[in-house]
Amino acid sequence: MTLKPEIRHATAVDAPVIARHRRRMFEDMGHEYGKHTEIDTLYQAWVAPRLEDGRYVGWLMQIGDQVVGGAGVEVRDRAPHPYDLTTRYAYVVNVYVEPEHRRQGFARQIVNTLLEWCKQQDFGIISLHASDEGRPLYQSLGFAASNEMQFVTWQDNGH
């Protein structure tokens, strides 16, 4: 009997899995952690309370007892915007599927679940930072490039 993939909400107990997925996602994008070996522990400590209080909402896809992928939304505050007067927005993070389970539509299913939740919560703006590999998926779901830019200071101070 083949087990069917199921998507469920993440809880604080899932913080280690989410942290591992996050690290692997960045590794897949070519980031090296080097001296930052404590990243999983730091991220677990950061995400667990946010899972409990709703500042982070996560979804995990499981096949049987095995978590094969997931994604999350950071619920962020912001000033009212001319196109959206609400004072919060959804920032999509940690979209990841284990390599042996890729190219089966799992990321699309997880992100669609996440987007449906965002719509139910009346988020006017849903943002993310797309990897090169993920960009076609997000574009096919209706995400569009914006004019956002970024200035990184940590390269100069050893972080």
Tens digit of pLDDT for each residue in 87-112?
A: 899 999 999 999 999 999 999 999 99
Residue 125 counted as domain residue: yes
132 found inside a domain: yes
Q: Range of 100's domain?
A: 6-140
Residue 25 in domain: yes
Q: How many domains does the chain have?
A: 1
Report the CATH number at residue 22.
3.40.630.30
Question: Is 116 within a domain?
Answer: yes
Is 60 part of a structural domain of the chain? yes
Q: Supply the angle between the helices 15-28 and 39-53 in degrees, to the nearest 10.
A: 130
Q: Are 143 and 128 in contact (CB under 8 A)?
A: yes
Report percent pLDDT > 90 for the chain: 65
Does residue 158 or residue 146 have the better pLDDT?
146
The pLDDT assigned to 103 comes to 93
Is there a domain that residue 75 lies in? yes
Note whether residue 153 is domain-resident.
no
